[in-house]
């Protein structure tokens, strides 16, 4: 598909033009080299030509190749998309320089009507019970632990225990902790602790086995069966604050509970609005990729595949995957990424053209602001991130991402919104995010 973007040019640089560049190279070299028996910059040209013949040839060719290719591409009005590969290079002193350049160009295509694209989108809604659930979560976060008079441990209690391992735990030292709060019946408490601590009395000790799952976060314990001795030293219970105006005022600049509820509702709606718009814009990208069939440069596709692979690997790592023992056929994964990458590149080229048609620009202030936000997310100095981006072309990529986002915002505003399908619930919070700075 990308073959139509490939071009080949046979280029000849006349001997007299080659000689002009060669003489300049010789002159620049003579001015800066220092040779035994000669003052700096005063070595005879004949000596320079004899001692540095290969260097002169190499530098002359380097200066001519890029210049000659750029000039020829401009004459033919070619929109070059990739660095040319040079083949069949021929050059002898006093002769023309000839070479073949193989490269890719951006495709030419007619821009279709984009003013009435149909995308799934529904205005986000927030029910009262969802506000209640968020309030309850905020209430639990501010719960206080209060001591309870001695009695048998029940679900919901926080048992104050001391714990010591009595069998191998994969480390030289046993596990020992003099005071630990254990939420009995809690979502993240291992079943063996729930079953054995439940019903204990303060001062009582029990010894029992705990079977740790294979995917347990503590690598030395994962998959092991460990015997523990646990002693109950105290009993506590979570005491939740009352949901009243005082609770709201303690949280911030709220007059009372009504004010807090409205703030929560507004926050939930804003989150869902962001994610719903993001999904709609992803649908726009997919639609643009399907509307056009023009070929795309393979070099662009390869870059997109690499971006998608980096994103996939980052997601797997964030999910705690053991990257060394995944057993993944990465070549197969990359092959499967090729067609989605083609569509993404095609949509990107279309978005770029739409940006031109809509006269969309990105200011330096917008780029600087995004770098500042990214630096805050990554917890690094703005100057350090700026330097890193300068080195690897990240500034240009960031500006392109911001321009694409602006273009998608315009397309979203112009689009015809239809109800999302059943398998795409409104306000879904997947695959959303700010324009990313690829590192």
H helix runs in 76-199, sequence order: 128-141, 191-197
Taking residues 55-71, what's their average pLDDT? 92
Whole-number pLDDT of residue 424: 59
More confident: 157 or 428: 157
Look at residue 36 in the predicted model and tell me its pLDDT: 63
Q: What is the pLDDT of residue 308?
A: 86
* CATH T-level topology, domain 144-239: Chitinase A; domain 3 (3.10.50)
pLDDT per residue over 21-49, tens digit each?
A: 998 988 888 777 766 666 566 667 777 77
Q: What band does 182 get if pLDDT is binned at 50, 70 and 90?
A: very high
Residue with the larger pLDDT of the pair 212 and 39: 212
Question: Is the overall model pTM greater than 0.85, yes or no?
Answer: no
43 or 436: which leads in pLDDT? 43
CATH 1.10.3120.10 domain range(s) in the chain: 276-418
Does domain 276-418 match CATH 3.40.50.450? no
Lowest mean pLDDT segment, chosen from 46-55, 134-143, 367-376, 380-389 = 46-55
The CATH number assigned to the domain with range 2-104 reads 3.30.70.1050
Model confidence pLDDT, tens digit, residues 269-326? 999 999 999 999 999 998 998 899 999 999 999 988 988 888 888 888 877 777 677 7
The distance of Cα 176 from the centroid of its chain, to the nearest Å, equals 40
For residue 133, the model assigns a pLDDT of: 95
Mean predicted lDDT score pLDDT of the chain = 88
Q: Provide the pLDDT for residue 320.
A: 75
Domain with CATH 3.30.70.1050 in the chain: 2-104
pLDDT value at residue 434:
34
Of residues 401 and 430, more confidence is placed in: 401
Task: Tell me the mean pLDDT in the region 367-373.
Answer: 94
Outline which parts of the chain fall under CATH 3.10.50.40: 144-239
Q: Which residue has the tokens 């006093």?
A: 94
pLDDT of residue 205: 96
């Amino acid at each position: 598909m990308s073959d139509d973007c490939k071009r080949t040019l046979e280029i000849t640089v006349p001997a007299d033009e080659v000689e002009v560049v060669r003489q300049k190279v010789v002159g620049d070299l003579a001015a800066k080299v220092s040779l035994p028996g000669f003052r700096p910059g005063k070595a005879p040209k004949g000596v320079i030509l004899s001692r540095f013949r290969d260097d002169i040839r190499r530098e002359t060719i380097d200066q001519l190749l890029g210049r000659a290719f750029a000039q020829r591409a401009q004459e033919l009005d070619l929109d070059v998309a990739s660095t040319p590969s040079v083949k069949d290079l021929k050059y002898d002193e006093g002769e023309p320089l000839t070479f073949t350049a193989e490269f890719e160009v951006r495709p030419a295509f007619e821009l279709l009507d984009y003013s009435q694209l149909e995308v799934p989108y529904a205005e986000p809604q927030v029910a009262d019970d969802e506000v209640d659930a968020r309030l309850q979560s905020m209430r639990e976060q501010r719960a206080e632990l209060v001591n309870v008079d001695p009695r048998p441990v029940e679900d919901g209690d926080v048992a104050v225990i001391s714990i010591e391992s009595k069998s191998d735990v994969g480390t030289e030292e046993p596990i020992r902790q003099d005071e630990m709060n254990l939420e009995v019946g809690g979502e993240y408490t291992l079943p063996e602790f729930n079953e054995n601590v439940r019903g204990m009395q303060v001062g009582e000790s029990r010894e029992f086995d705990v079977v740790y799952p294979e995917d347990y976060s503590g690598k030395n314990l994962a998959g092991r069966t460990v015997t523990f001795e646990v002693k109950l030293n105290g009993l506590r219970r979570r005491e939740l604050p009352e949901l009243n105006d005082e609770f709201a005022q303690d949280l911030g600049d709220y007059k009372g509970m009504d004010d807090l509820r409205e703030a929560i509702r507004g926050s939930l709606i804003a989150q869902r609005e962001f994610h719903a718009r993001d999904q709609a814009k992803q649908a726009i990208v997919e639609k643009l990729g399907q509307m056009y069939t023009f070929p795309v440069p393979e070099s662009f596709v390869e870059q997109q595949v690499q971006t998608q692979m980096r994103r996939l690997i980052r997601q797997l790592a964030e999910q705690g995957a053991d990257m060394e023992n995944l057993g993944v056929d990465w070549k197969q994964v990359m092959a499967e990424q090729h067609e989605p990458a083609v569509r993404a590149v095609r949509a990107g080229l279309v978005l770029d053209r739409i940006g031109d048609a809509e006269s969309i620009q990105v200011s330096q202030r917008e780029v600087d602001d995004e770098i500042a936000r990214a630096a805050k997310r990554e917890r690094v100095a703005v100057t350090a991130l700026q330097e890193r981006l300068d080195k690897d072309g990240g500034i240009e990529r960031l500006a392109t991402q911001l321009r694409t986002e602006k273009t998608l915002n315009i397309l979203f505003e112009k689009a015809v919104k239809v109800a999302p399908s059943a398998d795409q619930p409104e306000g879904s919070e997947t695959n959303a995010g700010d324009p990313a700075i690829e590192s």
